[in-house]
Every structure is written in structure tokens, then in C-alpha cells.
Amino acid sequence: MDNQVEIHYCTQCRWMLRAAWMGQELLTTFEQELAALTLKPGTGGVFEIRANGKLIWSRKEKGRFPEITELKQLVRDVIAPEKDLGHADKKRT
């Protein structure tokens, strides 16, 4: 179980709290699957999330932050594809 997620955030944009919150959400949801959650301070508006080294979110590319359920699905797809996220997996109308 060596799964790891990395959140690279811009300190100038004051995104630490957001990154730390998302990190804690992931650590809670993937308590059995995640071995490490790393917060990496950056600059220049960076907000990138990697799961096992794979870029799963780039704010510059997407033009927005991920919703938390969306982020959990993206992380799940990489580290625990068989995991059911419960209500977070329901499609919204």
C-alpha cells in the first residue's frame, strides 16, 4: 500500500487552507488506501494534484478547483478503482 497523493498549491494565492482541507478529506475517505498525503507550497497560481505521480488536476488546465466529490472520484480511479464512494458516486441531476 504505497499510494500517495500530492497537492501543489500557491502560497501567494493563500490556498494552503484549501489544499489542507482537501488533503484531510482524502485521508479520511481513503484511510485504508493512502500511505501519504503531501502538501507542497508553490507560487505563480499553481494548484495541481497528483495521485501516484499522475497529474489528476491542474487548475490552470481546468480553469477551476475540483469539487471535493469530483476529486475523490479522480483519486479513487488511480489508487482504488474498485472502491465504492457511496453517495459521492451518485450522479447529480
Site for its own copies in 49-78 (CB under 8 A): none
Q: Which one among 13, 18, 39, 73 touches its own copies, defined by CB under 8 A?
A: 39
Q: Residue by residue, what is the 3-state secondary structure of 9-70?
A: EECCCCCHHHHHHHHHHHHHHCCCCEEEEEEEEECCCCEEEEECCEEEEEHHHHCCCCCHHH
Place of cell 489542507: 20
Is residue 84 near its own copies by the rule CB under 8 A? Answer: no
Among the residue ranges 32-40, 55-63, 64-72, 80-88, the one whose residues contact its own copies (CB under 8 A)? 32-40
Close Cβ partners of 78 (under 8 Å, ≥ 6 residues apart) = 3, 51, 52, 54, 56
- Binding-site string for its own copies from residue 6 to residue 25, where x marks contact by CB under 8 A and - marks none: -----x----xx--x--xx-
Number of residues engaging its own copies in binding (CB under 8 A): 17
Binding stretches for its own copies (CB under 8 A): 11, 16-17, 20, 23-24, 27-28, 31, 34-41
